[in-house]
Structure 1
Amino acid sequence: MEKPRKKFIDVIDKAIIAGKALDHDEKLFTYKGTFYPVAFCSLEVFRAMETFEARSDDVILAGYPKSGTNWLGQILSDLVATCEKKRPDEAKNVNDEELEEFPYLEIGDIEKYERMKKLPSRRVILTHLCPGNLPKSVFKNKAKILLLIRNPKDVATSFFHFSNKLPALPSHKTWDDFFAAFMTEKMPWGSYFNYISEWNKYATDENVMTITYEELKENRPLGVKNIASFLGISLTEEELQNVVERSSFQSMKKNSEKTHGALGSMLFRKGGVSDWKNLFNEEQNEKMDKVFEERIARTKLGSKLKYDVYCK
């Protein structure tokens, strides 16, 4: 994961250029009632994505934007790459640049899904999509799904800063303007609350593991071990420790220009918990508390978020 990723950086650079050429109101389009950024996604790609055939040994990392998917993606890819290195078959080299694809399933071109057929198992695939917008084969073939969730106040805070840095997304002049948008359906990739509600329907499936951003921050070594166990990956203590060290915020930020190009400085800002306290006012706190209580609090994912610990 620390090697330069040319195709990844090319996609990001093109999206930044495209975003700069678009007015604020031109940056999003809708598909099945959800907003997506024009610079990253397209109707043609979504239609082509329906042909994607998931494998039972695929690893799908699902997370709402700014929940930590790039961070956990590093951990997953590192775990798989470390495991693959132990195999004698060199044809399974997951670092082959010719087979590299942008890791997010919904971002790319219409030929992407044909090329992905050539990728060796085990494929690590990231997505911000709700389950209803994923290809049906993901569930039919019981791909392994790692669901990453993060408390909504820190998600909103991180999304606000990220949107104002990345030209491909609509920016907001003030935090108040962004908060108003976040509490509606008008966010890129849709509503956070819809996202959690929809994924909650799959939270008890045997091929789904849920992990929170906060628990991974609290104890990264344990989180990495649990993920490896879920995926059936057997590594030595030294190998696991190396994965843990390479996935530290400091390590990833240091290598971000090489791994993420211009996106690196936008992604790796603070990497902490409770930054929301620097932005939320009392009225906004009360409004989000109320919506969380009404829509998510009594669900399995809602209880896992430990809202009273991280959002009060």
Structure 2
Amino acid sequence: MSSQGDHKPGSVGKGAAVGEHEKPEPVMADGLLVMPGTLRQWEEIKSFQARPDDTFIATYPKSGMVWSTQLMEIIQLQGDVQAYKVNKQKLSFLEISIPDDEPAVEKINNLPSPRVIYIHAPISHIPKSILENKCKVICVLRNPKDVAVSYYHFHTFSNMLPNPGTWSEFLQNFMIGKVTYGSWFDHVKGWWSLRKQPNIFFLFYEAMKKDLGYEAGRLASFLGRDLSPEAMKNLVEQLSFNSMKTNMDGKFPNIGSVTGFTFKQFIRKGQVGDWKNHFTVAQNEVMDQLIPDQLKGTSLDFCYEL
């Protein structure tokens, strides 16, 4: 566990130091902190009409959204890794509008079915049509200590997020939910409350790290797919952390031009337990008191090291 004092974030955007790049400030939308581009289309997001054959991937930021996206794509391709490698992707993110680009909701409305759509919002702020139409939702959950560390680093290099301040300042804001997309605790508790609905499926980041093949098999069953042992072996090899870090920029070729970061930055370490390199003893003690208090009565239990 880290014994270091507080520290400032490193680079921001395209190599600029903190303070040298204009960083946006989050704003409130119905009590949820969002980025200005999200607020500008908030009414369209709230009234978004999901289709019954839509599939949503719901995650709190930095919880495994990109990883689960790639997992789902290979499963839908029946394990055809070669087809996966040549397929370029554009993330259909409901709540994120890229500057100078077509509004996200409008872009998603124009997509053919079946659509795969990504959301970070808690269930209190998602379009009602998602649950009313019983759309498939894949929820990916990750332990809050590693999420806090990864989210902090993401703030340091993304042009789309505010300056995080010091690690101590960011962690304090994270623990009280004063960060973009709000409280991690509210997010996981809200989605977990729907766990008995057959159209809602849960993946845990730590379980994927421990045995990706097993978790891929569970997801394939949920999606109505059956992969051969050879296809599953290829899937696991393709979605190892090192392979993803090497290949993601090719999968999303346009991401860096508008966000200020590459996927090699975005996919930083992918470890379970990296929080021990950042949390002081005192910070960990506070978090260890907060987690069971906030998750009391939920049956949620997270793994913090492998």
Q: Same fold (TM over 0.5)?
A: yes
Corresponding residue of 1:270: 269
- The alpha-carbon deviation at position 266 of structure 1 amounts to 2.1
Mapping for residues 104-123 of structure 1, pairs under 5 Å: 104-108=93-97, 112-123=104-115
| Structure-1 residue corresponding to 2:38 | 42
Kindly indicate whether the alpha-carbon contact (under 8 Å) linking 1:37 and 1:188 is maintained by their aligned counterparts in 2.
yes
Aligned to 1:30: 28
**Separation in 2, partners of 1:184, 1:247:** 34
CA root-mean-square deviation: 2.9
Q: Which residue of 1 aligns with 2:147?
A: 155
Classify 1:131/1:229 alpha carbon distance in 2 versus 1 (closer, same or farther; 3 Å): same
Tell me the TM-score normalised to structure 2 length.
0.81
2:185 paired residue among 165, 189, 193: 193
User: Is 2:282 aligned against 1:283?
Assistant: yes
Aligned residues of 1:27 and 1:170 also touching (Cα < 8 A): yes
Call closer, same or farther: CA 1:114–1:171 in 2, change over 3 Å: closer
In terms of mean alpha carbon deviation, does 253-262 or 107-116 score higher? 107-116
Whether contact under 8 Å (1:51, 1:113) holds in the other structure is: no
State whether residues 45 and 107 of structure 1, in contact with CA within 8 Å, keep that contact through their aligned partners in structure 2: no
What is the CA–CA distance in structure 1 between the aligned matches of 2:31 and 2:305, rounded to whole Å?
29
Provide the secondary structure at the position in 1 that maps to 2:291: helix
Q: Among residues 41, 46, 52, which one is paired with 1:56 in the alignment?
A: 52
Please tell me whether the aligned partners of residues 181 and 187 of structure 1 are also in contact (alpha carbons under 8 angstroms). Answer: yes
Which sections of structure 1, spanning at least 5 residues, go unmatched? 1-12, 86-94
Measure, in 1, the Cα distance between the counterparts of 2:112 and 2:87. Answer: 10
Q: TM-score, structure 1 length as denominator?
A: 0.80
Which runs of no fewer than 5 residues in structure 2 stay unpaired?
1-12
144-153 or 167-176, larger mean C-alpha shift: 167-176
Written as runs of structure 1 = structure 2, the 5 A alignment for 1:83-94 is: none
Contact 1:20/1:167 (<8 A) preserved: no
More helix by share: 1
* Residue in structure 1 matched with residue 7 of structure 2 by the alignment: none
Which 4+ stretches in 1 moved above 6 angstroms? none
* Distance across 2 between alignment mates of 1:179 and 1:52: 33
**Contact 1:63–1:128 (Cα < 8 Å) also in 2:** yes
Instruction: Indicate conservation of the 8 Å contact 1:148/1:213, yes or no.
Output: yes
